[in-house]
Structure 1
Amino acid sequence: MGSVGKKSIVNVAETLYAIVDIETTGGSVSGSRITEVAILLHNGSEVIDRWTTLVNPEMEIPMHITALTGIDDDMVAKAPVFKQVAEKIYSLLKDKVFVAHNVNFDYSFLRGQLAACGQLWDSPKLCTVRLSRKLLPGLNSYSLGKLCSQVGINLKDRHRAMGDALATAELFSMLLSKDSEGIISGMLRKVSPEQRLPSNVPTNDFAALPECPGVYYFHDQKGKVIYVGKAINLKKRVASHFTGNNTTLRRQNFLRDIYHISFERCGSELMALLLECTEIQKHWPIHNRALKRFEAKFGLYHYVAVNGYSYLAVGKLPKQQHCLKAFDDEAEAVSFLVDKSRTFDIDPRFCRFGNASVFQSDLPRPNVDKHNLNVQQLLNELEGSVEQFVLMLDGRDRNEKGFVWVENGKVYGMGYLDESLGGDMDQLKESLAKCRSNYYMLKLVTGYADRYPHKVLYPVVNEKRQLA
């Protein structure tokens, strides 16, 4: 393992760099293989050595990759497999700073395939995309082809390893000459957050993140929200997205799509959870996968049949469908209906328990009026148990409090109020941002209210109540 990665590098002119480009069969480290490698050794002033080879990936090269690179199965048929060149590659990369355009792509491929050959390699790395954004600001694009065109670099053999590596080396020399403030030596320090961030994310976006609860947003190149998350500590949570060894194609695409980070501070984890939910419903980001958790799956229904009897039924709960009570799963709903039918002496023949068989009995049916009265008593209990309360939570600073208003069994609104303003419940309600409530949000709030009853305020209908 190279010793370079174990110290902070200060004098970039005395450092050896390995400028690398690879071609592959696809974008996933775990499911794709290298087809070509080019390595240029650079002494901080100029290229002093070069090496390249085609590599037999031992798998078929997809047609769209051949169309992009010109490398097909016939070209690599007699090329060495990666294991045969692993030692050579390791010797060239050892004790060098690894440099590439979108460095994490090339680095992760080579590190993974070297490890598979028993070569444990680690190295400090520099990304010429990130360096270009700092030292060549204001360009229209930082893709290698367009960047070279804008700064006058002649890029030959695009999407071939040596052609792209030579262009990257010329770009790197230009960046070294423009680095009058020691940006490169700063980025080479092992602890530098620069090395953790995706190449398109501005460092200032990450630096601005506070260490407090809140909601964070990842935006694409056009500013569209592509992911929303909540955090107890915004800076730590966002940083966790950019660390670890997950090399799946989905994660690589996710990181590649991030161009900007924004955030909203919250006073508590609960407020962050609720805001996350409302923001996901608002933006429906393409990288949020767990959206279905926000909806209940089953509901309890009531209907009156043509024979005049009231029926209760457990069934699936489509979106926007009204029901008496919602549940996470069918078993929970059935258990509730069984328990309530016994409590209110409701004949089980008039209860439909989801997929369970309808109860059969030879006994005569109950009196319709008495039966319907028993059902109505259950309905009255359900109506009377509809959640109506206000939660008072911590604010974003000492001078404010956070509030969540629950009305008619829905999260009506949430927000913050300056403690010095005072005011009654009507004023509070008017000051809150309205929510598009759902089952998941209500469960979060009622669960919190059950755990922390001292934080619950009960508004009195048609009567003013001063805030505590």
Structure 2
Amino acid sequence: MTQTWTWWSAKPVGFNLEDWVLVDIETTGGKPGLDEIIEIAVQRFHQGEWVQSWQQLIRPHRTIPPWITRLTGISNAMVAEAPLFEEIAEDLAALLADKVFVAHNARFDYGFIKHQFKRIGIDWRATTLCTVKLSRQLFPEHKRHGLDHLVTRYALPQVDRHRAMGDVDLVAAFLAQLTHEVSADRIWSLLAELLAQPSLPANLDPSELADCEDVPGVYRFYGAQGQLLYVGKSVQLRTRILSHFTQDHRAAKNLKMVSEIHHVDWTECDGDLSAQLLESQQIKTLSPQYNVKLRKHTRLWRWVRHLNQDGYAQMKLVANDGLTADELHQSFGLFRSQKQAEEAMRTKVKDANLCQRLTGLDKKAKGSCFAYQLKQCRGACVQEELPLAYNLRQDLALQTWQQQAWPWQGPVLVRETPTSERGLLVYQWQVITDVEDETSLFEALSSRPACEQSLDLDAYRILCKFLLKPPAGMVIKPLVWLEEGGEIHG
């Protein structure tokens, strides 16, 4: 089942990517480093016209899990006599060469094929087009853009779903259907955007990005004299770096930065968590010229509560590094500046009708606050509101500022993927150390650090996000601090 894309006739002048391959694969699972391709299907189109189909079962080096067989219908017996990937790699590489690589969720298919090529020494890259992204951009009113949803929405032909050629047929049918849904000009306008080729900075050697892959990590841009211009992170390093060079640079600041780039390097990470933490840490310690949001703040601030002589909860703004242990347990919020802390408190006071003097905003030692005169304070400052009632209202208002309690009794070892050997030892919302092996873990657990007052606001927020709601695949193993001669256990 192949269909012509009639919208192709409106192709704009200067568009040279005329050979496309529609690709789908079936695999033994979802991880390119562990799982393998068991079927590939390709349909080649030239100027919107079908010219070739190619399909191949592939014998993996591992057995096909039963759930994959139930999903795809491909069994170990079916691939027992099929060729290995390395036996069909040259033919596949020739078929895909110099063509636009099109797939539904292209990141998955492209990543698997590239990884298997790389494993046998073939360096392959392609311009990619993801039809999920295309559908989302063309039809933002729809929430779902999976193949099954497209079949229902556009009455696409019924095919053998979760077999490679069947899914390629659906992608081809979807592209043909676009003629009836949107104008050809709209299609080409979006394709030009999605297929835009990066124009590298004039002073950047293209070979510097030759080994950069779409993996999680942190990247750095440098100027002519080696000065650090910018630090960024992504779960798709190569795509993110190139995106800096494909944007229209409407912001003069961004255009200026790109023009100054002479060198790029990067650090690969195990996942998004370690990438975010490294990015935050490097921006603070290295102070890149064009990073602003995460610049280093030498002091953080908290509101500290104590009971005054009349039993009312009174707040005082204190620098985080000057807190005593007792004050730390009676503190609220964590702010980058005194101004930010005071503005946040003003909002709380207004929303909950709190007392400006008791919350530290009105500096008078006694008497009514200004909000009381405006009938916005219920009178705690002149003892018209009882201490118990006021303190309860204030506690409720400030509840969202309380630091998240550490959920475990001791430290935890965080691995971002189940198969990773590396990990992060984390305690009280701080990364104690990177863990490379059992020896480094033992050494870290043998010396318990003091963590309470050196908390980094950005790291705290990043760790809360990941550890309280771990993404799929993340492994969090509770541990205990070791006494001399102890053993590691969870």
Whose radius of gyration is greater, 1 or 2?
Answer: 1
Normalising by structure 2, we get a TM-score of 0.46
